[in-house]
Structure 1
Amino acid sequence: MGSPAAAATASIDYSEPDGGSLQLVLSLSELAPGETPDLDSLSASFEGQQLDASIEAIDDASGEESIARTAVLALDVSNSMRGAKFEAAKSAASAFLDEVPSDIEVGLVTFASEVTVAQEPTTDRDAVRAVIDELELSAQTRLYDGLLEAVTVSGDEGSRSVLLLSDGADTSDTPLAEVESKVERSEVVVDVVALAQNAADTDTLSGIARAGNGQVLSADDPAALTDLFADRAADLASQYLVTVTPPAELAGDEGTLSLALDVGGQPVLDDAFVTLAAASEEPAEAAPATPQPVDPGLTVPVEYMYAGIAAAALGFLAIIGLLVSGGREARQDAVDRGIEAYTRKGAKRLAEANRASENQSVTQQAVAVAEGVLEGREGLEVKLGAKLDAAGLALKPAEWLLVHAGVTVVFGMVALLLSGGNVLYMVGGLFLGGVGAWVFLSFKHRRRLKAFKNQLANTLQLMSGALSAGLSLAQSVDTVVKEGTDPMASEFRRALIETRLGVEIEDALAAIAERMGSVDFEWVVMAIRIQRQVGGNLAELLNKVAETIREREYLERQVMALSAEGRLSVWILGGLPPVFMLYLVLTNPTYVGVMYSTPLGWAMLILMGVLLTVGIFWMKKLVKVEV
């Protein structure tokens, strides 16, 4: 009969670098009662070369030197465990809790038709026992999924182990090869308790145990479960912390590390493939490192930042004041304000305003400065005024220019403050504010033009009905003003006021077509001119034009539907590269940093931008169909 010590085995369960040393968890199992290893007999070798090593019980290691340990129980709670099996499994789990060292965090995962994390790893043994007492059975056995969940719950740091109990084959769709691969990569020790299983199922579990550097423990009788679980807890109590210090010439090398330890006069051996850490250095006498100044980049002095805050606040208040005053002026019709200067009361008011020009408010002075900027640039002022009119904004070009500048300054100052004074962010904020205000104006412009176009057919039909009822053309325009909606009603109201001032109604309507950029309405005005010169039934003519416009709108919608896929492709293919680039910049800036920190990267970005722009332009041309 061999000595009990000869049956003892050793296993390197975990390794991690610690400064210039390598720490390993050495597990001893199948020790005879009362048997302890000879710690002074430890020897360590790396590829045949002896290394300095020390060993101590993990329980004796100090907090800084100790390694965190986690154990997860994965229990089968399928209906096949009903009766004595289930009660024995709960008793075995309780026995495990009684024997496992107090510093080990214990978790519990159950699997049947569902995989459940019944208890996250904790050192509170009573909490785990309470969960075990409440376990219930259900159908199926998702063994593989339960094992993978237990491996995940064990975490990714320290020494980790999983003890799996099952009495049946897996019923999930998870491939066995995938389970073994994930277990092997996780570096978690997996021991499997096969309860009354056939040889084929036991072989399958053996493959899982080999992948987890563990073993299969077979139990034909449920009563044997308690001893198996208690023995596994005792193995965790027989773990030792081995510290290996490699020489400088082996620092960073990879290879096989072998450990040998005497137990009861007999050596127990194990080896593992490891990466040695760098040799430790003694920094005790080293002078404290002088912190190196960090270049904050291009920044602004604090006093300038406060000045910027004040300027931004004043600009914001000026914008608010302009908008409020502009809102009051918008309530008065623009034509009425133009006529008022020629009345006795209006002339007097104008003279008083001229005399008080030196006492203008800050807002008025700012508008005067903006008007001075636009002087000599009549083309810009005319275009900007036309766009403001078409967008329905009651602002003069000079007022809009002031608002635009204020928004730009506010965005720049906000970006400067949020970035802690970085001028590059301020430039980005200025660009965003300048472009954003113009985008807003363009959006308002396009939306109003689209609304006008959509209302045109119904407006012509309304005018036709009024003419058929015996009303004049001017009265039919007034009908649209009273019964229509904006923007059609407001544009026709302006045309009606112009006719009352002596402008021909055709010219007033032509001005609407020019402001709104509507080719269809130009046709309507042309038809009205012809009818007034040669005569004819204008109501019927307007009906025909409305019918033609509706047919064209139907064709446009049909074309839009047929070309929707191509237009969506333009957005997706054109937006995917910059969006993905932005994602990489935010999530992994180191990986993508070479694209904007090297000449080759800048060249690639420029080439990408050119090709992307050409591609977007070409695709838009392909899917754009004029009706």
Structure 2
Amino acid sequence: MRSTTRGVAGVLAAALLALSAASPALADDEVTIDHVETDRGTVSLLVSTDGVPDGTTVEPSQVYVELNGGAVESTAKLVDAGDIDRTTVIVLDASKSMRGQGKFEAATTAINAFLDSAPEDVAIGLVAFAGKVTTTVAPTIDHGDVRTALGDLTLAAGTGVYDGIEEGVTLLTDEGSRNLLVLSDGADTGSATTLDVAINDAKTAGVVVDVVSLAQGADSEALATVATETGGSVIPADPAALTSVFNERAAALDQQLLVTFTAPYGSGEDANIDVVVEAGGTQYHDTAFATLGPGFEVPDVVTSGKALVGDSGMLLGAGALAIGLFGLLAIALLGAGDNRSQSVRQLEAYFNGTSGADPKKRRKSTSSDLKGSAVSVANRVVSQDMETRISQRLSGAGSALTASEWVLVHVGCAFGAGLVGFVMGGFAMSLLFLLLGVVLPWLYLKFKHGRRLSAFNAQLAQTLGLMAGGLQAGLSLPQAVDTVVKEGHEPMAGELRRALVEQRLGVDITEALEGVGERMESDDFSWVVMAIRIQREVGGNLAEILHTVADTLREREYLRRQVKALSAEGRLSGYILTGLPPLIFFYMTFANPDYVRLLYTTVPGYIILGMALFLLGLGSFAMAKLATVEV
């Protein structure tokens, strides 16, 4: 936000001249632009219209704005609370010289009248000085605080005008319309701050200092310098006229207009703003020079760069998209097939007595909706070996998807990621996102399988204890397994339930349990099944064997957890160091794409990116090996 504040000199001078001159004295200052503020293209003007001749009504609809000589559309309204911040700080001379001719009493009476008449939303502050600053009241809309401080003032020796000005400047914030009014009757006699410092501080803060001078002759020259250097004015006044001046100022605040307009693009960083007020058949105007900001500069001509994808690439992409859409349509309309898993089809064929028939004749038509048709097509594509491997991994991860459904979802993820990459950065980014779409689902599936395997192994010792107890009570091995299914928790209960179902369909219980170990890829469970198989072949006390194995596994699990806790810091460091570069790359892709675009649009960038991926993978592998302890 940029703002420009003009002083209150025009208002006060108009009031004093009106009191002291017989002829009309407002010919040059009928309206005054007190403040200019810009915020993201919207310009707000604070306009005072108290200089318009008495009896003339100013209508907000009759206010017009010209920017650099051209008319712009604008709106105007009387200022309400909350429209714009308005702040006035009064710097009052409280030196003993103000005692003569009733100057101090006239000043306090005038300020009290101003406090009574000023709008409630105007924040007013007070700085009183003598040889040094004696009283400071921060700008507040509680005008009673200023009135109380004003009543407690006492006169003292010395006149530190520059110190008072500097204190007043520090009280003014950077927002809204800001006015600093100095009322004094003499020159500075010993401020800690010099005249140059006071002027520089006011100019740096963008504050216009206006002076109501009760002094005569040479005593007012220094104050005139402050006002001139900061763009303000010195208003000579008589003590008897002070109340009228401050009353006029309060009335002017009530009549201020808020004029807003949107600066057209290309208006330039600096602009001349002319406000025209038409009232009583006469036009009054004031001009301000304001800084709008670099956002309004005319942009340089943008030269088109090299396209990320050529015409041939766009045609190939459009053709592939068309083929894909027609393929989906054909699948939706014509595709039909059996989307059940291979094991379900074999079981149905077995129970129906059609195991030797042609597989094509055994298929039943399914619903022709898009999902069923797509899964059917994916089922035709997936080979028997691939289906077995994928089904085993899905089962180990606890997923309810079939192999064909997983392939369909996987292809959809890869295609969607590639499309997002193409939209973001062209062909190179599309390849990168396509690779991520292929790899990340498998990593997610492996992560879920690893978590389920950890939970499975953690329950194994307790499971063997339950089975051993059942065997000691006289139960058979399938009955003992059924006890675990009823009393246990997932994932152990679910896997053993599946083994019982297979056993009831005619599969030997040891082979069914061996299938559990293969699906879960659990070496510990495979050793348990081996012990059961050996016992069934050579004899022995199976319950005692299971108790012994359970104790061994319990000790191994305790040791495994201890090692995992001790290596947690190393594993976490590996995760952070491995994941931080890709995360920063993706963040910069969205936050500052120009910074990383060279990595995937130039040949050196491809080389650097390839080396970075290789080194990142090598470092990740090394840290994983260092942090992994086999138990």
Query: How far did residue 504 of structure 1 move?
Result: 4.1
TM-fit CA distance, 1:476: 1.0
Residue identity opposite 1:341 in structure 2: A
Residues in 1 aligned to 2:460 and 2:147: alpha-carbon distance in whole angstroms: 71
Change over 3 Å in CA distance of 1:587–1:150 after alignment to 2: farther
Q: Is the 8 A contact 1:301 1:421 kept in 2?
A: no
How far does the alpha carbon of each residue in 1:301-327 deviate from its partner, in whole angstroms, 9 at most, with x for none?
A: 998698478458659979x999xx86x
Deviation at 1:107, TM superposition (A): 6.6
- Name the residue aligned to 2:87: 73
Amino acid at match of 2:346: G
* Distance in 2 separating the partners of 1:184 and 1:448: 71
Find the aligned partners of 1:404 and 1:303 in 2 and give their Cα distance: 22
1:508 and 2:522 aligned = no
* Residue 66 (structure 2) aligns with: 63
Q: Which amino acid is the alignment partner of residue 189 of structure 1?
A: V
1:535 deviates by: 4.1
Match of 1:489 among 483, 487, 493: 493
Question: 1:347 is matched with which residue: 310, 329, 354?
Answer: 354
Q: Look up the match of 2:391.
A: 385
Helix, strand or coil: the match of 1:385? helix
Q: Output the amino acid matched with 1:73.
A: T
In structure 1, how many angstroms separate the alpha carbons of the residues matched to 2:248 and 2:472?
101
Equivalent-residue separation in structure 1 for 2:597 and 2:424 (angstroms)? 22
1:333-482 mapped onto 2 (5 Å cutoff)? 338-343=346-351, 345-347=352-354, 351=357, 354-355=360-361, 370=378, 373-375=381-383, 378=385, 380-393=386-399, 397-406=403-412, 408-409=414-415, 419=423, 433-435=437-439, 437-482=441-486
- Structure 1's 337 and 485: CA in aligned 2 closer, same or farther, altered over 3 A? farther
Q: Counterparts of 1:315 and 1:455 in 2: how far apart (Å)?
A: 49
1:189 match? 207
For 2:258, the equivalent position in structure 1 comes to: none
Corresponding position of 1:613? 617
In 2: Cα distance, 1:540 partner to 1:212 partner: 100
Q: Note the C-alpha offset of 1:514.
A: 1.9
Match of 1:538 among 538, 542, 546: 542
TM-score (norm 1): 0.53
**Residues 517, 369 of structure 1: alpha-carbon distance in 2 compared, 3 angstrom cutoff:** same
2:522 to 518, 526, 535: 518
Residue 477 (structure 1) shift:
1.8
CA contact (8 A) 1:499 1:508 kept: yes
Deviation at 1:117, TM superposition (A): 11
| Aligned match for 2:570, one of 566, 570, 577 | 566
- Hey, what's the Cα distance between the residues in 2 that align with 1:186 and 1:305? 63
Unaligned stretches of 5+ in structure 1?
A: 1-12, 16-23, 40-56, 77-84, 99-105, 119-130, 139-143, 155-159, 166-179, 194-208, 216-220, 238-250, 253-273, 282-288
TM-score (norm 2): 0.52
Q: Distance in 2 between matches of 1:592 and 1:580?
A: 10
Percent of residue pairs identical: 37
Q: CA deviation at 1:423?
A: 6.9
Counterpart check, 1:576 vs 2:580:
yes
Distance 1:186 1:526, change over 3 A: farther
- 1:466 Cα deviation (Å)? 0.4
CA gap of 1:228–1:531, structure 2 versus 1, over 3 A, is farther
Q: Partner of 1:151: helix, strand, or coil? A: coil
Q: Indicate if the aligned counterparts of 1:496 and 1:505 stay in contact, CA closer than 8 A.
A: yes
For the residues of structure 2 that align with 1:493 and 1:625, how far apart are their CA atoms? 33
1:475 deviation in Å?
Answer: 1.9
Matched residue SS, 2:67: coil
Correspondence 1:22-61 to 2 at 5 A: 33=17
How far the C-alpha of 1:516 sits from its partner, in A, is: 1.1
- Residues 1:303 and 1:402: Cα distance change in structure 2 (over 3 Å): closer
Residues 459, 480 of structure 1: 8 Å contact kept: yes
Flag the 1:409–1:530 CA change in 2: closer, same or farther, 3 A: same
CA offsets, 1:31-73, max 9 Å, x none?
684789999xxxxxxxxxxxxxxxxx99999432499997642
Please give the per-residue CA displacement for 1:90-121, whole angstroms capped at 9, x wherever unaligned.
Answer: 854676669xxxxxxx874999xxx9998xxx
Distance in 1, matches of 2:354 and 2:323, equals 42
Q: Which residue of 1 aligns with 2:173?
A: 151
Tell me by how many angstroms 1:600 deviates.
5.5
Shift of 1:300: 6.3
Query: How has the CA–CA distance of structure 1 residues 591 and 551 changed in structure 2, closer, same or farther, with 3 Å as cutoff?
Result: same
Q: Give 1:153 shift.
A: 3.2
Structure 2 CA distance for partners of 1:619 and 1:147, relative to 1, 3 Å = farther
Tell me the secondary structure at the aligned position of residue 63 of structure 1: strand
Question: Structure 2: how far apart are the matches of 1:621 and 1:228?
Answer: 83
C-alpha distance in structure 2 between counterparts of 1:443 and 1:314, whole Å: 35
C-alpha distance 71-233 of structure 1, shift in aligned 2 (>3 A):
farther
- When residues 359 and 62 of structure 1 are mapped into structure 2, their CA distance, relative to the original with a 3 A threshold, is closer
How far off is 1:517 after superposition? 1.0
Post-superposition CA distance 1:535-573 (Å, at most 9, x none): 443223322322332333233333333333333333333
Cα distance change, pair 356–567 in 1 and its aligned pair in 2 (3 A): closer
Cα distance change of structure 1 residues 357 and 543 upon mapping to structure 2, 3 Å threshold: closer
| 2:353 aligned counterpart, secondary structure | helix
The alpha-carbon deviation at position 469 of structure 1 amounts to 0.8
C-alpha separation in 2, matches of 1:455 and 1:190: 80
1:454, distance to aligned residue in structure 2 (A): 2.9
- Give distance in 1, aligned partners of 2:181 and 2:572: 52
What displacement does 1:524 show?
1.4
Provide the rounded CA distance (Å) in 2 between the counterparts of 1:528 and 1:596: 57
Contact 2:503–2:512 (Cα < 8 Å) also in 1: yes
Secondary structure at the residue paired with 1:573?
helix
Aligned length in residues: 461
- How far apart are 1:473 and its partner, in Å? 1.8
Rounded Cα–Cα distance in structure 2 between residues aligned with 1:420 and 1:583: 13
- C-alpha spacing 1:590/1:369, structure 2 compared with 1 (3 Å): closer
Contact 2:172 2:178 in 1 (8 A): no
Q: Structure 1 residue 555 and structure 2 residue 581: aligned?
A: no
State the Cα deviation string for residues 494-515 of structure 1 (Å, max 9, x = none): 3334445655433332222122
The 2-side partners of 1:387 and 1:116 are apart by 72
In structure 2, the partner of 1:260 is none
Cα 1:573–1:290 shift into 2, 3 Å? closer
